[in-house]
Amino acid sequence: MVLTTDWVRLLIVCVVFTVAAAAIAWSTRLTTPKPFLKAAARAVVQLAAVSAVITFVLTHLGLTWAFLVMMAAVATATSARRTDTGRKGFWVALPILVGTVPALGLLLAIGLLPVKGIALIPVGGILIGGAMTATTLSARRALDTFRDRHGEYEAARAMGFRERDAVRLVIRQSAAEALVPPLDQTRTVGLVILPGAFVGMLLGGAPVWQAGALQIVVLLALLAVEAAAVAIVVELIARGLIRRASQESEVRLT
């Protein structure tokens, strides 16, 4: 009976939060309720599926690595769809992986992260997720800026700038705005934000100092990963490897 009551409470709270988000967005004309309802439904289905297999995955190192690869693939597909880069969307895998793989490798090499699924999946997920968010935000902002300030790009080309340098000149500052959320998160950790790794370790019985030390490492690794992601996004857009179809034609005409 207690378990049933808890599930009912959980269901009610989830429905209330989802409906509240959808209603606020709809009533203020920010967007339609559909994205919130779809996101909530997907989250429930995906977490249920992961919960069903995660125990098995965590006990097999090979499956752990496969799960991390799947995370990276899903992150790439999500970012490609959000940036509307079409057939060139596979390039967004590069900014997602270019910082994540070395960061995980360093943590494993110096022994701060054990080669176990219970450690690899949450930390890897945090880094991949952060890189995905930074990639999506920086690419969207940069591509929008390139569209809105195309006249400045043409002026730079007319002055003798190479295409790569002209694009970088226009988009670099707007792309860097994707770093504001992780910078603020790091600046306010402990005062405003208590991240999941810290809280999870405390709930698991780890000493406070150990939980804090791990969280600092994860946050700083995340900063490096996201900075690398944004830098690579700028370079890929400047080289024409990430570009919306309409913008490809604009560049060819100039």
Query: What tens digit of pLDDT does each residue of 150-176 get?
Result: 898 999 999 989 999 999 999 999 999
Backbone angles phi, psi at 205, to 5 degrees: 95, 10
Its pTM stands at: 0.83
Alpha-carbon distance of 195 to 211, in angstroms, equals: 10
Q: Are the C-beta atoms of 128 and 78 separated by less than 8 Å?
A: no
Q: How far from 212 is each of 42, 156, 171, 195, CA to CA, in Å?
A: 32, 48, 36, 10
Alpha-carbon distance of 105 to 123, in angstroms, equals: 12
Alpha-carbon distance of 81 to 128, in angstroms, equals: 16
Q: Which fold has domain 59-253?
A: Multidrug efflux transporter AcrB transmembrane fold (1.20.1640)
Q: Which pLDDT does position 217 carry in this prediction?
A: 83
Domain ranges of the chain: 1-55, 59-253
Q: Copy the structure tokens of residue 55.
A: 């125990």
Residue 3 has pLDDT above 80, yes or no: no
Q: Which pLDDT does position 120 carry in this prediction?
A: 87
Q: Copy the structure tokens of residue 136.
A: 């999506």
Q: Which pLDDT does position 253 carry in this prediction?
A: 47
Alpha-carbon distance of 137 to 228, in angstroms, equals: 13
Alpha-carbon distance of 132 to 225, in angstroms, equals: 10
Q: Copy the structure tokens of residue 105.
A: 């490798």
Helix (H) / strand (E) element for 22: namely helix 2-27
Q: Are the C-beta atoms of 134 and 178 separated by less than 8 Å?
A: yes
Q: Copy the structure tokens of residue 223.
A: 């900063």
Instruction: Let me know if 188 is exposed, middle or buried by CB neighbors in 10 A (0-12, 13-18, 19+).
Output: exposed
Tell me the average pLDDT across 181-192.
83
Helices (H), 110-207: 117-148, 150-158, 163-176, 180-187, 196-203
Q: What is the pLDDT of residues 39-56, one digit of tens each?
A: 999 998 888 888 778 778
